[in-house]
Amino acid sequence: MGLFITFEGIEGSGKTTQFELLKSYLEKMGRSVLAIREPGGSVLGERIREILLNSGGVGICPVSELFLYEACRAELVKDVIGPALKSNKTVICDRFIDSTIAYQGFGRGIGIKDIERVNNMAAGGVAPDVTFLLDMDPGAGLERAWKRINATNTGINREDRFEKEGLEFHSRVREGYLRLSMAEPERIKVIDGARDVRLVHGDICAVVDKIIR
Ligand code: T5A
């Protein structure tokens, strides 16, 4: 089986930046890498992503939101992640099951046990070997996220449904992530995401090097 690495954290914590840097780092080492994101990463998943991140003003209740994320995940694991791991690839995923516990559980208030059950159903037993949790103050993360959105996402397709949630929501999400990391310290490595991009990347590479060796 290959190696499965996930990135987690609040909005703007630098996941996508670090995910891309790690992808290049691993490719330079000669590893075969599959880099994907949630929600998305499959044909159906990318279509559901559009609804989830910009519903065009249509309300989505927390339970519907949960099942839309799980539908994306079920497709992604079955068609993309599972086969890649079986063929010994290194899979890097920008968000996975922990996002659902943090956002739909701690953020929206759905029971954690219920989420764990549907997470397991969608992921079909596939679990990350290591998860990097980029941690930082939610206010500072949102500031970064809005800057990126305003610079790159224009027009009606702005992916900003979660950024529009208040600071209290994002503080609960962060708290959820930190609790998850305390429950699974071996898998979830907490990295201070407020620092310089290169320092954060260095910490991530150090962990990955140890695992690969
Ligand atoms: N979601 C997802 C759920 O609710 N449940 C689920 O089960 C799943 C899977 C996904 C949304 O869906 C939710 C969570 C999310 O709200 P998304 O667009 O993928 O949406 O959102 P994010 O992953 O949060 O994307 P962001 O871009 O907001 O955050 P990132 O990826 O953490 O940050 P990044 O790397 O894009 O950086 C943001 C900006 O900061 C700069 C970057 O250049 C960029 O401009 N930056 C730094 N600046 C200074 N110092 C650093 N160290 C920096 N690192 C990055």
Over its length of 213 residues, how does the chain's per-residue pLDDT go in tens digits?
899 999 999 999 999 999 999 999 999 999 999 999 999 999 999 999 999 988 677 889 999 999 999 999 999 999 999 999 999 999 999 999 999 999 999 999 999 999 999 999 999 999 999 999 999 999 999 999 999 888 886 666 677 888 889 999 999 999 999 999 999 999 999 999 999 999 999 999 999 999 998
Residue identified by tokens 């956002």 is: 103
pLDDT the model gives residue 161 = 82
The model carries a pTM of: 0.96
User: CA nearest 126: which of 36, 14, 27, 26?
Assistant: 36
Closest residue by Cα to atom 35, ligand 1, is 14
CA gyration radius, the chain: 16
pLDDT the model gives residue 154 = 62
- Residues touching ligand 1 (Cβ under 6 Å) are 9, 11-17, 37-39, 53, 69, 95, 99-100, 103-104, 144-145, 147-148, 159, 162, 196-197, 200
Choose which residue among 7, 95, 137, 159 to substitute to test ligand 1 binding: the one with the highest number of ligand atoms within 8 A of its C-beta. 95
pLDDT the model gives residue 153 = 65
Ligand 1 centroid, distance to 156 Cα (angstroms): 19
Largest CA distance in the chain: 49
Strands 130-135 and 33-37: unpaired
Please list, in sequence order, all residues whose beta carbon lies within 8 angstroms of the beta carbon of residue 132, skipping any fewer than 6 positions away.
5, 6, 7, 8, 18, 189, 191, 204, 207
The helix, strand and coil proportions of the chain, stated in percent and rounded to the nearest 5, come to: 60, 15, 30
Rounded-to-integer distance, Cα 113 and Cα 98, Å: 13
pLDDT the model gives residue 199 = 98
Answer for the pair 169, 109: CB distance below 8 angstroms, yes or no. Answer: no
Query: How is 185-213 classified by DSSP, letter by letter?
Result: TTTEEEEETTS-HHHHHHHHHHHHHHHH-
Answer for the pair 88, 2: CB distance below 8 angstroms, yes or no. Answer: yes
pLDDT the model gives residue 85 = 97
Please list, in sequence order, all residues whose beta carbon lies within 8 angstroms of the beta carbon of residue 130, skipping any fewer than 6 positions away.
3, 5, 6, 187, 189, 207, 208, 211
* Distance in angstroms between the alpha carbons of the first and the last residue of the chain: 16
